[in-house]
């Protein structure tokens, strides 16, 4: 597929070094986000258009940091919308790799970005299963092989043994992440009618059972 900037968005290609400098240094950020919104979100593009990895990888490296850390809520929201559109214009294999990194636990990962990234996975799954005749890694067993170990488990695995009680759990970001995980699992069960993801052999039973019995012990 042709790269997006080759015919639709020459402005993005010509300004990309300036865009990255602005995003990385928080200089003229509002203007830069406005350009990205205009170019990526508002300008019509031909069907099945994809961005170049040379654009995707830098943007998907810096945008999650702004989504997580910027003090202004509207800026965080705008940045997240741009990130979502960049991912929609990303080849599916690379898109899955990026989302795997966003949902994976690490010292540098924001727990709130990890939760939001599960929603981005859900969007990609819905896109994939809505086109049953098109090959897509988000509608294949490779999806759960890639993200399942990072999504469908408690974080940390022994969280409910170490946390102080229900109130302490409520104050942590983990309940919101678990809701997103189970919502994704529900989407797979209800929308993947051909079982292209092979969700039925995959089990999140251990997650549910561990959570249920630990909560019963607290009560």
Calpha distance 91→67 (Å, rounded): 22
**Pair 187, 143: CB distance under 8 Å:** no
Q: Is the pLDDT of residue 214 over 50?
A: no
pLDDT of residue 149: 87
pLDDT range class, residue 167, cuts 50, 70, 90: low
pLDDT of residue 44: 62
Query: Which of the two residues, 153 and 60, has the higher pLDDT score?
Result: 60
pLDDT of residue 46: 62
The mean pLDDT of the chain is 83
Q: Cβ-count burial of 8 within 10 angstroms (0-12 exposed, 13-18 middle, 19+ buried)?
A: middle
Percent of the chain topping pLDDT 90: 53
Q: Is the pLDDT of residue 4 over 50?
A: no
- Kindly report, residue by residue over 201-212, the tens digit of the pLDDT: 655 554 444 444
């Amino acid at each position: 597929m042709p790269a997006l900037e080759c015919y639709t968005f020459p402005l993005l290609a010509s300004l990309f070094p300036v865009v990255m400098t602005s995003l990385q240094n928080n200089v003229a950020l509002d203007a830069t986000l406005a350009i990205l919104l205009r170019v990526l979100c508002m300008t019509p593009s031909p069907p099945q258009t994809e961005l170049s990895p040379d654009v995707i990888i830098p943007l998907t490296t810096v945008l999650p940091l702004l989504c997580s850390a910027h003090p202004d809520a509207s800026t965080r929201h705008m940045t997240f919308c741009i990130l979502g559109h960049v991912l929609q214009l990303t080849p599916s294999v690379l898109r899955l790799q990026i989302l795997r990194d966003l949902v994976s636990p690490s010292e540098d990962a924001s727990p709130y970005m990890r939760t939001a990234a599960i929603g981005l996975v859900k969007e990609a799954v819905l896109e994939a299963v809505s086109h049953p005749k098109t090959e897509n890694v988000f509608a294949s067993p490779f999806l759960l092989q890639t993200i399942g170990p990072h999504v469908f488990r408690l974080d940390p695995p022994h969280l409910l043994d170490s946390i102080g009680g229900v109130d302490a759990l409520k104050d942590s970001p983990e309940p919101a992440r678990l809701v997103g995980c189970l919502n994704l699992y529900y989407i797979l069960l209800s929308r993947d009618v051909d079982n292209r993801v092979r969700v039925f052999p995959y089990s999140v039973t251990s997650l549910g059972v561990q959570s249920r019995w630990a909560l019963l012990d607290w009560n």
